[in-house]
Amino acid sequence: MMKIKAQGIKLGAVILIAEITFILIFAFLGDYDLSSLPDNPGDTSVHLTYPMFQDVHVMMFVGFGFLMTFLKRYGYSSVGVNMLVAAFVLQLALIVRGFIHYDIIGGQRFQVTIGEMLSADFAAAAVLISFGAVLGKVSSLQLLIMATIEVILAQLNEYIGLHKLHASDMGESMYVHVFGAYFGLSVARVLYNEHVHGSRKEGPVYHSDIFSMIGTVFLWMYWPSFNAGAAEGHEQMRAVVNTYLSLSACAIMTFALSALLDKNGRLDMVHIQNATLAGGVAMGTAADMPVHPWGALLIGSVAAIISVLGFKFLTPLLSSRLKLHDTCGVNNLHGMPGLLAGISAAVMGALSSPDTWGDSMCKIFPAREGCGDNSTDLNRSALEQGGYQMAALSVTLAIAIGGGILTGFILKIPFLDAPERDMLFDDQHSWNVAEQQFPDVLVESEGKHEKNSMTYM
């Protein structure tokens, strides 16, 4: 009991110190969007960006939060700790991005714009994906340490990809999904605990699976806003349409594969909850590119196939052979479909030409030949652009895996209160919840209580 009490004090103290630090950094280095400062007309068009930002916000807090509630005894942590981690990352990401994108040393202050808030949500997405790989196996304190390291590395990686390699990634399937998935999987590998096998707590009850579907449908519906939120003009329109079509194909193909591969011909809820979303990931990098409606449908269909096959065959194999236990199957939902996204966009880059792409080519690939502005007068050929897209994907994988392994070892520090064997996949590790409140044991406790119904109140 003393140990748990200490665990609470540590968590509380770390958050307190973090929040005080955040406030001080914002006080000395941060500011509003200059356009929301008095006497500055600027861009006050909240209505242009805000609705899509809110859709993405729903994806982070309802989408990820509820998607992970499928475990029968880990719902408080899924939706609750998801909120803690996301809200923590929002503030941290604004600061980290400030240091990267503003001349802080030169006296500039970083700005909190709606665009930056959208980017902060993207930063949260990467961390929440990693959370999925280690769900039920780490403490809140471990998660906050993981989040801190991951946000810094992911933002650096995004900076390298966008501003050094000039690799396009509109829906950030490389910089968010691939990064988050392989970072999280690397952490999970290092933290591998043999006791995860055979736990009866690592499973759903009927209603926890339906809670999870709340997350699925909100992610599915609002994904076009994720892939198009940062775009403009007809690139934005195309990102909406491509993502919508990719997801539609992915959803129905997931049902097909789930039924075809099952030994009894029945559908599997895990596939429906997760693989239906792979089309959003797979479309992310090329979202604003002219892949044409049929191309979007094809990408979504392939994503479904990869994702269901992954859940069916790869995840059990990774767990039993490679000691890589992936609680939510993020490799199947974010990892492999993210690789597909990166490769699709590299192919598109290698095929890009001003004849078929029009003015979109230079907007999407400013480093292509003939697009030269001051910052990126690189005159790349189409093939070169394709190569740089692959380079960005490779760099992302390298930083994610390397950073994840390093982070995993850091998280092993005993100070961070990893849950012990009997507290895996169990909210009782860190929440006040009586055993008899759980749906799978409601019977016994309430059976007693019914016998005493005379003295009920």
State in angstroms the smallest separation of the CB of 317 from its own copies.
20
Find the binder of its own copies among 214, 309, 378, 391 (CB under 8 A). 214
Per-residue x/- marks for its own copies, 99-138, CB under 8 A? -------------xxx--x---------------------
Find the binder of its own copies among 105, 107, 263, 321 (CB under 8 A). 263
**Strand, helix or coil for residue 110:** strand
Name the token pair of 393.
């994907």
**Segment contacting its own copies by CB under 8 A, of 19-27, 130-138, 329-337, 400-408:** 19-27
Estimate to the nearest angstrom the gap between the alpha carbon of 71 and the chain centroid: 19
Per-residue x/- marks for its own copies, 345-364, CB under 8 A? -----------xxxxxx---
d(CA 338, CA 331): 9
Find the binder of its own copies among 123, 181, 333, 424 (CB under 8 A). 424
By the 8 A CB rule, do 63 and 129 touch?
Answer: no
Residue (185 or 249) nearer to its own copies, CB: 249
d(CA 190, CA 322): 11
State in angstroms the smallest separation of the CB of 307 from its own copies.
15
State in angstroms the smallest separation of the CB of 277 from its own copies.
11
Looking only at residues 61 through 100 of this chain, which bind its own copies when binding is defined by CB under 8 A? 61-62, 65-66, 69, 73, 75-76, 79-80, 83-84, 87-88, 90-91
State in angstroms the smallest separation of the CB of 47 from its own copies.
5
Residue (174 or 340) nearer to its own copies, CB: 340
**Segment contacting its own copies by CB under 8 A, of 323-331, 334-342, 381-389, 445-453:** 445-453
Question: What stretches of 30-170 show up as alpha helix (H) in DSSP?
Answer: 46-58, 65-67, 75-76, 82-101, 114-134, 140-159
Residue type, 109: R
By the 8 A CB rule, do 401 and 158 touch?
Answer: no
Find the binder of its own copies among 97, 189, 201, 325 (CB under 8 A). 201
17 Cβ partners below 8 Å, 6+ apart? none
d(CA 65, CA 59): 8
Find the binder of its own copies among 132, 290, 310, 349 (CB under 8 A). 290
Residue (15 or 405) nearer to its own copies, CB: 15
Told to check if 277 binds its own copies by CB under 8 A, we report no
State in angstroms the smallest separation of the CB of 367 from its own copies.
18
Residue type, 96: V
**Segment contacting its own copies by CB under 8 A, of 164-172, 323-331, 397-405, 428-436:** 428-436
For 244, other C-beta atoms within 10 Å of its C-beta total 20
**Strand, helix or coil for residue 135:** coil
Find the binder of its own copies among 103, 293, 398, 412 (CB under 8 A). 293
Looking only at residues 304 through 333 of this chain, which bind its own copies when binding is defined by CB under 8 A? none
Told to check if 194 binds its own copies by CB under 8 A, we report no
Size of interface with its own copies, in residues (CB under 8 A): 152
Name the token pair of 235.
């690139």
**Segment contacting its own copies by CB under 8 A, of 27-35, 159-167, 323-331, 398-406:** 27-35
The string of DSSP codes covering 289-304 is S--HHHHHHHHHHHHH
Estimate to the nearest angstrom the gap between the alpha carbon of 85 and the chain centroid: 12
Sign of the dihedral defined by the CA atoms of residues 298, 133, 178, 117, in that order: positive
For 198, other C-beta atoms within 10 Å of its C-beta total 7
Told to check if 209 binds its own copies by CB under 8 A, we report yes
By the 8 A CB rule, do 200 and 417 touch?
Answer: no
Per-residue x/- marks for its own copies, 375-404, CB under 8 A? ------------------------------
Residue type, 208: S
Per-residue x/- marks for its own copies, 223-252, CB under 8 A? --x--x---xxxxxxx-xx--xx-xxx-xx
By the 8 A CB rule, do 229 and 161 touch?
Answer: no
425 Cβ partners below 8 Å, 6+ apart? 71, 73, 74, 135, 136, 137, 199, 201, 202, 327
